[in-house]
Amino acid sequence: MIFDYFKKDIGIDLGTANSLVYVKDRGIVVSEPSVVAVNNKTGQVLAIGEEAKKMIGRTPAHISVIRPLVNGVVSDFEITQEILRHFLKKINNNRIFNYCRVVIGVPTNLTEVERKSVEDAAISAGAAKVYLIEEPIAAILGARLPINEPISSMIVDIGGGTVDIAVISMGGIVTARSLKIAGDKLNDDIIKFVRDEFKLIIGEPTAEELKITIGSAVPIEEKMELAVRGRDIATGLPREIIVKGNHVRTAINRSLGSMISAIKEIIEKTPPELVGDILKTGIYLCGGGSLLKGIDQLIEKEISVKASMIEDPLTCVARGTGIASENIQYYSKYFVDNLKPMEINI
């Protein structure tokens, strides 16, 4: 059909920290931070993605660097629309006619209003049709794990804003929880620790660098340290300190404990037959936060179940939305149903 030539089906992992776009037959074509820089005087969008991220903590008063998604939820509708429009413009080379169907991954516990805001933002940005899929389901599809069989798969998707924990069997979510303690919270923990312990104020990019470079969930043999610069609380002047790996571990320890408690809670709510499957198959980890050194070892130690990383954990959800977008009719059974208002006959 000629129409198929113009039609594009895409999958989007609209994340708090990063957004990825998968295009049918081309794979992942966009992977950028979910950040936008705006001129407050004119309302003009100055930069989106990587360029905007470089500006965090470095802009004058008239420029705001905005992250429009907080805990996986749209907090700034117009800016989310701008990000989606930017992505669609990048992939739509044909300007005569664009017909774009979009599959978007969303956290499990979104309310109907929050889901509607994601849909509306995508449609306003130029999508013709929008389908929502819960991130744990997308992650299972992306990891090519069995989804329709009567065997459970437990997935822990550690993103920037949320940790999505779910047990999936027979094509549906049996038990799930979305926890608002994830990558961004760990950055905040590091900022607070450095302020309290070293009396030094550092920004979010520095905290993230500490987490990625020397952070770990369990003690590691290799001695790691990093020099960081910030503003001294007492003098207000610049100062440099050396932060060690065990400092970062101490800073994030409490938040990691909350994640472990949530995983335990989900297992406790899971039917015993499926818990037996989890013991056999293990817990699968994905998302950017799963790259924290030793997090799989921590989960194994605390839960007594093998934890393994899905291959290429950063793109797992995006690949899942992409797989769903390649055959929308077949995968429609996994999409989030919009709750319709109840009809009352008087």
Paired tokens of 41: 């005087």
Q: How many DSSP H helices and E strands does the chain contain?
A: 12, 18
Least confident of 169-173, 184-188, 340-344: 340-344
Please check whether residues 162 and 307 belong to one and the same domain: yes
- What is the C-alpha separation between 116 and 93, in angstroms, rounded? 28
287-325 pLDDT tens trace: 999 999 999 999 999 999 999 999 889 999 999 999 999
- What is the C-alpha separation between 182 and 16, in angstroms, rounded? 10
- In the 8-state DSSP scheme, what is residue 17? S
Which run of H or E residues covers position 169? strand 163-169
CATH number for the domain spanning 24: value is: 3.30.420.40
Task: Tally the residues of the chain.
Answer: 346
CA 206 to chain centre: 20
- In the 8-state DSSP scheme, what is residue 121? H
Nearest to 277 by CA among 172, 141, 169: 169
* Residue 52 phi, psi dihedral angles, 5° rounding: -70, -35
Residue 2: pLDDT band with limits 50, 70, 90: very low
Which residue, of 224, 251, 278, is where some domain finishes?
A: 251
CA 42 to chain centre: 31
Please check whether residues 117 and 222 belong to one and the same domain: no
Beginning with the edge strand found earlier in the chain, give each strand of the sheet holding 238-244 in spatial order. Answer: 200-201, 225-232, 238-244
Domain with 97, as residue range(s), is: 2-138+317-334
Q: Are 344 and 313 in contact (CB under 8 A)?
A: no
Which residue, of 235, 251, 267, is where some domain finishes?
A: 251
- What is the C-alpha separation between 137 and 244, in angstroms, rounded? 38
118-149 pLDDT tens trace: 899 989 888 889 999 999 999 999 999 888 88
Q: Which residue has the tokens 């049709």?
A: 129
pTM of the predicted structure, to 2 decimals: 0.88
pLDDT the model gives residue 30: 87
Q: Is 152 helix (H, G, I), strand (E, B) or coil?
A: coil
pLDDT the model gives residue 297: 95
Q: Are 167 and 173 in contact (CB under 8 A)?
A: yes
Please check whether residues 166 and 237 belong to one and the same domain: no
Q: Is 92 helix (H, G, I), strand (E, B) or coil?
A: coil
- What is the C-alpha separation between 104 and 100, in angstroms, rounded? 12
Q: How far is CA 304 from CA 16, 117, 268, 290, in A?
A: 30, 40, 13, 18
Residue 341 confidence (pLDDT) above 60? no
Q: What is the dihedral of CA 62, 122, 290, 173, to 10 degrees?
A: 140
CATH number for the domain spanning 232: value is: 3.90.640.10
Number of domains in the chain: 3
Please check whether residues 171 and 217 belong to one and the same domain: no
Radius of gyration, CA atoms only, the chain: 21
Please check whether residues 52 and 63 belong to one and the same domain: yes
Taken in order 109, 115, 118, 122, the sign of the CA dihedral is positive
Pairing of strands 283-286, 36-39: unpaired
DSSP 276-321: HHHHHH-EEEESGGGGSBTHHHHHHHHHSS-EEEPSSTTSHHHHHH
Residue 214 confidence (pLDDT) above 70? yes
Please check whether residues 238 and 106 belong to one and the same domain: no
What are the beta bridge partners of residue 30? 21
Residue 83 confidence (pLDDT) above 70? yes
In a domain, 265, yes or no: yes
Q: What is the dihedral of CA 92, 95, 97, 103, to 10 degrees?
A: 20
Please check whether residues 244 and 273 belong to one and the same domain: no
Q: Please compute the mean of the pLDDT values over residues 226-242 and round it to a whole number.
A: 94
Please check whether residues 163 and 187 belong to one and the same domain: no
pLDDT the model gives residue 8: 78
Residue 337 confidence (pLDDT) above 80? no
Residue 237 confidence (pLDDT) above 90? yes
